[in-house]
Amino acid sequence: MLGALAFLSFAPYRWYALMPLLLAGFVLLGTRAQTWRQAAGLGYCFGLGYFLFGVSWVYVSMHEFGGMTAPLAAFATLVFCAYLALYPALAASVLGIARYSPTRRALVLFPAAWALSEWLRGWVFTGFPWLAAGYSQVPDGPLGQFGPLLGVYGVSWVTASCGAALAGLIVTRQGPRRWAGGVLIGLVALGFGLRWTTWTQPAGTPFGVSLLQGNIAQSLKWDPAHVRTTLDTYLSMTLAATTPLILLPETALPLFDTDVPPEYLRALGDHARSLKGDVLIGIPEYAGRDIFYNSVMSFGSAPTQTYRKHHLVPFGDFFPRWGVLTWIMKSLQIPMSSFSHGEAVQRPLAVAGQQVAVNICYEDVFGEELIRQLPMATFMVNFTNDAWWGKSGAAEQHLQISQMRARETGRFMLRATNTGVTAIIDQHGRVRAQLAQFTQATLSGSAQGYQGATPFVRGGNLPVLLGTVIILIIGFWRHVPRR
């Protein structure tokens, strides 16, 4: 039940205070376990509820838009969530391994194990760091202010520490209780204090942006009979925009770049030049010899520049060979699912007098990869098509992830999406403007470039990884019973 309630901590509900409370309950149950197997079992049950309720939209993607039968989609969703639940189980197992004070176990070892398990979940099998606990703390939670310092996994560590401290206040004697209270008050107070810390500075003057939300139904997006309508939609929306920077979402043009009529691209570029700016377009790129990229291209004031998606989505952008799971997922009917990986390190695109760090769809879930273009880039843009998730909460969760990326880096994040959530997010991770989902509209507003580097931009996830590993090694080296 505790894990099933966790989804309320995330968008669209955003009950950020609930996450530490749920983790406190989790710790209270885990510290009563007699063995590490019992603790891991509790953690597995927590994780299963956590993900079955939190990422149930996977079923929508596979059944409604991937063409998978309902029973097979339900089974695949269950298998996926059962796998993800292994990570909370791994974190919980430390509560039953070390045979010494439950207070020390909870306050020291569990938060480190939780943060490390989330990092592992974001790395193994190309990674799925969705619903890391730290995301629940943006934009309003005081603990989210640790984002520029430690990144999302650091925020998860701090959140788990507060949960462990709450548990310590309940179950410990007076002395340890004061220690637990000090940890809780200290972390929350420091989070509030960090609100006044400035890590980056404005670069240049504000500039106008137009984010185009074409609202092309996923069932029609790749239909050859609907291609002309899609092209006309984005052409008319682009010609109506009046800002120096115009952004079209991921694969907005459902043709390879080599198949788009040259006069069409020329019209887009001419309009951007008339505004002394650029238009950035999500478009599949054909590079010859059966090599395809999910790309973003610029047209306008500068020669055409290209960003190629590097971190591809398994079974969405490409099909890995993962045994029975590959057999199940090959029943999906997903167009454009044979993309190649772009370079891991790519330079920001120089457009509209700014340096923009481009990321496509799922890539903004990996904060340590986005910082490869920083601190050179002055702002970031996420091009995505979240229509795959239907009217579930996934698009709002994705928005919250982008908010964390903005806070981690101290830079604006612009989101150009097909069906939503299209938004302008400032350097603090707050949404300044957004469009309603599943509407065809243009979001016009102002953005500001920023320069400088937050501690997270400089160090990435390394400080958190080293910290968690060192704490776990020391904790178990000193306290695991020896025969």
- Write down all domains in the chain, each with its CATH number in brackets: 2-198+460-479 (no CATH), 201-453 (3.60.110.10)
Residue 62: per-residue pLDDT:
80
Q: How many CB atoms lie within 10 A of CB 223?
A: 14
Q: pLDDT tens for residues 393-445?
A: 999 999 999 999 999 999 999 999 999 899 999 999 999 999 999 999 999 99
CB contact burial 435-472 (16+ within 10 A = b; e otherwise): bebeeeebbbbebbbbbbbbebbebbbebbbebbeebb
Query: Of 425, 410, 304, 318, whose CA–CA distance to 362 is shortest?
Result: 318
pLDDT over threshold 90, residue 94: no
Residues 298-321 have pLDDT tens digits of 999 878 999 999 988 765 655 555
CA 363 vs CA 108, 313, 385, 387, 406: distances in Å: 32, 9, 12, 16, 14
Is residue 474 very low, low, confident or very high in pLDDT (cuts 50, 70, 90)? confident
- In 3D space, the residue among 350, 353, 212, 356 whose CA is nearest the CA of residue 275 turns out to be 353
Can 361 be counted among the known catalytic residues?
A: yes
Structure tokens of 400? Answer: 């919250």
Q: Where are the extended beta strands (E) located within 214-319?
A: 245-247, 278-286, 292-300, 306-308
Place of tokens 């310590």: 168
Residue 111's identity, in one-letter code, is: P
What is the radius of gyration, based on Cα positions, of the chain? 23
Euclidean distance between CA atoms 285 and 425, whole angstroms = 28
Note the pLDDT tens digit of each residue in 353-402.
Answer: 899 999 999 899 999 999 999 999 999 999 999 887 888 899 999 999 99
**Residue whose entry in the numeric block shows the structure tokens 């943006």:** 138
Is 221 tagged catalytic? no
Q: Give the H/E segment covering residue 3.
A: helix 2-5
Mean of the per-residue pLDDT values for the chain? 89
pLDDT of residue 98: 61
Predicted model pTM = 0.93
Helix extents (H) in 334-438: 367-370, 394-409
Of these residues, 250, 285, 363, 368, which one is catalytic? 250
Span 146-171, average pLDDT: 94
Strand partners of residue 379: 356
* Residue 475 confidence (pLDDT): 80
**204: alpha, beta or left? (left if phi > 0; alpha if psi -120 to 50):** left
Answer left, alpha or beta for residue 164, where phi above 0 means left and psi between -120 and 50 means alpha: alpha
Please report the pLDDT score of residue 338 as a whole number. Answer: 72
Whether residue 476 is predicted with pLDDT greater than 80 in this model: the reply is no
Selecting among 64, 162, 309, 396, the annotated active-site residue is 309
Q: Residue 482 above 60 pLDDT?
A: no
Active-site residue identified among 361, 363, 396, 408 = 361
Judged against a pLDDT cut of 80, whether residue 334 lies above it is answered with no
Higher pLDDT, 101 or 192: 192
Q: Which of 78, 103, 90 is nearest to 42 (CA)?
A: 90
The helix (run of H) or strand (run of E) holding residue 360 is strand 354-360
178 pLDDT band (50/70/90 cuts)?
Answer: confident
Residue range 339-350: average pLDDT?
A: 91
In DSSP terms, 246 is beta-bridged to 210, 279
Give the lowest-confidence range in 10-19, 280-289, 406-415: 280-289
CA distance 158 to 146: 8
pLDDT at 187 exceeding the cut of 90 = yes
- Whether 207 shows a pLDDT value over 80: the answer reads yes
CA separation, residue 272 to residues 238, 306, 351, 417 (Å) = 9, 16, 11, 20
Q: What is the pLDDT at residue 483? A: 46
* Statement: residue 211 has pLDDT above 60: yes
State yes or no: cis peptide before 139, omega within 30 of 0. yes
What distance separates the 2 farthest-apart alpha carbons in the chain?
Answer: 78
Residue (of 273, 284, 296) closest to 381 by Cα position = 296
Strand, coil or helix: what is 483? coil
pLDDT at 327: 53
What element of type H or E holds 417? Answer: strand 413-417
Percent of residues, the chain, with pLDDT higher than 70: 91
- The string over 236-246, giving b where at least 16 C-beta atoms fall within 10 Å of a residue's C-beta and e elsewhere, is ebbeebebbbb
% of residues, the chain, pLDDT over 90: 68
* 213 pLDDT more than 50: yes
What pLDDT shows up at residue 227?
93
Does 309 qualify as catalytic in the annotation? yes
Judged against a pLDDT cut of 80, whether residue 167 lies above it is answered with yes
